[in-house]
Amino acid sequence: MKVTPLAATTPGRLRDTLLDHGWNLAQATAAAEGAESGAVHATGLDQATLERLVLYAGGKLGLDVLTGADWAVIGGSRARLSALARPWGGPPELAGIAHAVGLALQGIAPSSWTIGRQSLSLDRPLLVGILNVTPDSFSDGGRHHDLPAAADHAQNLVDTGADVVDIGGESTRPGRPQPVTAADELARVLPVVEALRHRLPDVPLSVDTVKAEVAEQCLTAGASIINDVSGGRLDPDLLSVVAAAGAGLVLMHSRGTVADMATYDHAEYHDLLNEIIAELGEGIERAVLAGVTEDRIVVDPGLGFAKRVSQSWWLLDQLEALTSLGRPIMVGPSRKRFLGAATGRSVEQLDVATATACALAYERGAKIFRVHDPGPARDALAVAHAAREPRSVAE
């Protein structure tokens, strides 16, 4: 007899093992997902619920249950957690927590993202290249401010691995001198969208804006994605514009205004992860009510936005929890200060750290990666993807 372990961090291994034994793909995938381990954290529980939870979840279902005065951490395979999540299958007094666990487990990120008239596959990592056309961006302000330089840089982003080009005309850099008007932002961004639509006709274009007027004109000019760093908070009309155009939408978590969302002014949380999930959920609800269909929505946890260094690291580690929202996850760790704090390197030297953070985020459920330099991130993500899906690599 020989027994070999299958690592919990690579459920694809179990799926492939079952395929080798003759299982069909649907059966093998379902079994692998069910065997994957996980945990949920419940708070606000009374003593009677805690006692019943230990007896039922820990005793009958074989889950690991750790408890405190009013909380519990419940861990085990996804299949066993799913059994706990059936309100009809357990003790009536646990119906409420069963429903809550079900909501926490329900999200399995979609395998595609609908933008305009096309669908982008998320079966492998998707890279979004950053094109700042602002004079004051924290990383590359002023370098691509004129149209020829912007177009050349967009071409370089695509040549080095970007699947999408994200164009931004308003910096969120702390301490920027004054707000940018819609007219000024359009003067920076719109000519670039128009030029790139001709130069890179097959490359999806995203516009990083919080303004409905900017979004509307850029979508008309050929962009197919709006990346709203306010999560739809600052200009509700933007969501209606996206809905009318059938565009893709990125909702990033942040707090405050464009002027202070990248500071620590709003970085006080009682429960970081749950508050971010709740606030992103509110953003999704606003977008859907405005007419944006869910298949067009992507969420971004906003690393570095209203988050201290330690909070960004915690969020990166716990990123998989955001899959409970049921939407694809995009991350933008590129050249952020939490990477500089860990490496001691300057902003211009953080592309390798960025690539490493992208690979870590991919392992934790992210599908889309917004970066300044696609080259290192492309290679790091190719390695991470090959480790999870070795059969995708040509012999």
Q: pLDDT: is 101 or 344 the higher one? A: 344
Q: pLDDT: is 2 or 79 the higher one? A: 79
Rounded to an integer, what distance in angstroms lies between the CA atom of residue 107 and that of residue 286?
19
Residue 296's pLDDT is what?
98
Q: pLDDT: is 162 or 325 the higher one? A: 162
What does the CA dihedral 206, 132, 349, 363 come to, rounded to 10 degrees? Answer: -10
Residue 175's pLDDT is what?
61
Residue 152's pLDDT is what?
95
Q: What angle do CA 75, 76, 81 make, to 5 degrees?
A: 90
- One of 15, 188, 255, 370 is an active-site residue; which one? 370
Residue 339, pLDDT > 90, answer yes
- One of 307, 336, 364, 378 is an active-site residue; which one? 336
**Residue 74 in 3-state DSSP?**
strand
Confidence of residue 2 (pLDDT cuts 50, 70, 90): very low
pTM of the model: 0.85
Residue 3's pLDDT is what?
45
- Residues 338/288, Cβ–Cβ less than 8 Å: no
Q: Active site includes 336?
A: yes
Residue 9's pLDDT is what?
54
Using alpha carbons only, how large is the chain's radius of gyration in Å?
A: 22
Q: pLDDT: is 174 or 6 the higher one? A: 174
Residues 86-114, mean pLDDT to the nearest whole number: 84
Residue 136, pLDDT > 70, answer no
Percent share of the chain, pLDDT over 70: 92
Confidence of residue 4 (pLDDT cuts 50, 70, 90): very low
Instruction: Give me the residue label for tokens 């408890």.
Output: 67
Write down how long the chain is: 395
Residue 89's pLDDT is what?
84
Residue 145's pLDDT is what?
65
Q: pLDDT: is 174 or 365 the higher one? A: 365
Of residues 331, 327, 298, the one with CA closest to residue 315: 331
